[in-house]
């Protein structure tokens, strides 16, 4: 639908999208928590190489976990912003005072 130079928001579609995004963030959180023990590497032997490989894998896991948490926080901020502003834009679209 062409609205020219105006902006139109479908609140129901925004609500559906934000619900799905929030669900995605929640699923990532649950998977990371559930798999944390499975992703912790133990050295297969006492030699230096085994020790170093396990340490490197654990460093990568920690880094990925930190980045994943940041991504989840960003996703939740996007959800919050969309929910906050969708109502105001819908009201403006209907010609109501915002």
**Local confidence band at 66 (pLDDT 50, 70, 90 cut-offs):** very high
**pTM, 2 dp:** 0.72
How long a stretch of residues is the chain?
98
Identify the residue whose tokens are 């639908």: 1
User: 6: which 2 tokens?
Assistant: 């105006």
Give the residue ranges of DSSP H helices in the chain: 11-39, 48-93
Superfamily of domain 11-88: HP0062-like domain (1.10.287.850)
Report the pLDDT averaged over residues 25-46.
94
Cβ-count burial 56-75 (b if 16+ within 10 Å, e if not): eeeeebeeeeeeeeeebeeb
Residue spans of the domains in the chain: they are 11-88
């Amino acid at each position: 639908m062409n609205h020219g130079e105006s902006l139109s928001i479908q609140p129901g579609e925004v609500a559906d999208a934000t619900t799905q995004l929030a669900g995605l963030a929640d699923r990532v959180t649950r998977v990371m928590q559930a798999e944390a023990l499975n992703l912790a590497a133990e050295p297969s032997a006492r030699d230096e190489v085994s020790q170093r490989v396990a340490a490197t894998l654990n460093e990568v896991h920690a880094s990925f976990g930190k980045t994943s948490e940041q991504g989840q926080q960003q996703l939740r901020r996007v959800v919050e912003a969309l929910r906050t502003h969708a109502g105001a834009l819908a009201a403006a679209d209907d010609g109501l005072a915002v």
